[in-house]
A = this chain, B = another copy of it.
């Protein structure tokens, strides 16, 4: 049985396991004060081209969104996401659990439009009194988005300009950031993201780590008492070394982007074959999530041989599914899948 069900089905890149074994009995302080975290922080600062960036390691994506957003917002503020944003749909209300509302603007293939954002936020500064409404304090976006699309640099800059106009923080969810950074044609680099965002995270769980996400607060932007707030949210690991070591490995010798490329290459091969065979995409995107519309019969037959993600019902006769590639996808499995299609 083939599997393209997601990009977190395997363990970790072998270099990480090797480093875990090599350093296993080295005694280190807890709670992120270890040497591995320190080294990883330094490597990430370099990769972000921001020697002043604060870097903190957390275990998972929803946790990271919850901790960062609730730590940066004031009590009366909400966070703006587009309607398909992960925090508003698939995180079980983790943001609301901390007392904050997720405010929504329309989604365009998973992306926020800067002009619509400007309209939405601008209304809070108009004649009408908005004291009875949740005040926007932050913009949340994903890159790549939940639909595998990417922002152009100009789009991010336009969103940043809106944030500057109204004093909003900009936070980027990079659960699959590695894949976005190496997609051919993207003009968005890690230093660009560090320059434009107030906070973002570099996803490890879906890009080669066992678990872990690296939160970056450029320009010394980490809120005061952040460690305490992480602990208060149940997110502080005693063995922070496990997270630090993995990012230390991933950010040595460009391993992070090197292994991400495999996912994009595999997805490109798959996409080309799908186009050739006349398949329809639910959303066209250039990253590692290939969203395809299948006839229901076809879907049923396919499921017997390939594990895929059900995405959504399209109409009575069609279903959208996702083929996800990853750092670990083998080219022969892609070929076998193409054979089946």
Q: Which residues of A contact B (CB under 8 A)?
A: 3, 5-6, 8-12, 14, 17, 20-21, 23-31, 59-63, 65-67, 70-71, 74-76, 78, 89-94, 96-102, 127-128, 131-135, 205-206, 210-211, 225, 227-229, 231-239, 241-242, 307, 310, 328
Contact = CB atoms under 8 A, between A and B. Distances in A.
User: 10 closest pairs, A vs B, by CB?
Assistant: A63-B234, A11-B24, A92-B231, A93-B134, A9-B27, A92-B232, A66-B234, A96-B101, A76-B228, A93-B101
Contacts of A96: 78, 96, 99-101, 134
How many copies of the shown chain assemble into the complex? 4
Interface centre among A8, A27, A62 (most CB of B within 10 A): A27
A259 to B, nearest CB: 13
9 contacts: A6-B30, A9-B27, A10-B26, A17-B20, A25-B328, A92-B231, A93-B101, A96-B101, A96-B134
Nearest to A70: B75
Given A17-B20, A94-B232, A211-B239, 14 more contacts: A6-B30, A59-B59, A60-B234, A67-B234, A71-B75, A74-B225, A76-B225, A91-B232, A92-B228, A94-B233, A97-B98, A97-B99, A134-B232, A211-B242
If over half of A's interface residues share one DSSP class (helix, strand or loop), that class is named, otherwise mixed; here it is: loop
Contacts of A239: 8, 11, 205, 210-211
B91 A132 contact: yes
A65 B90 CA distance: 24
B24 A232 contact: no
B24 A94 contact: no
Contact of A211 (B11, B228, B237): B237
A231 B71 contact: no
Contact of A27 (B10, B91, B102): B10
Contact of A131 (B10, B12, B228): B228
A299 to B, nearest CB: 12
Contacts of A25: 10-11, 328
Contact of A89 (B28, B62, B133, B234): B133
A93 B232 contact: yes
A236 B60 contact: yes
- Scoring A127, A239, A307 by chain B CB atoms within 10 A of each residue's CB, the highest score goes to A239
A26 B10 CA distance: 6
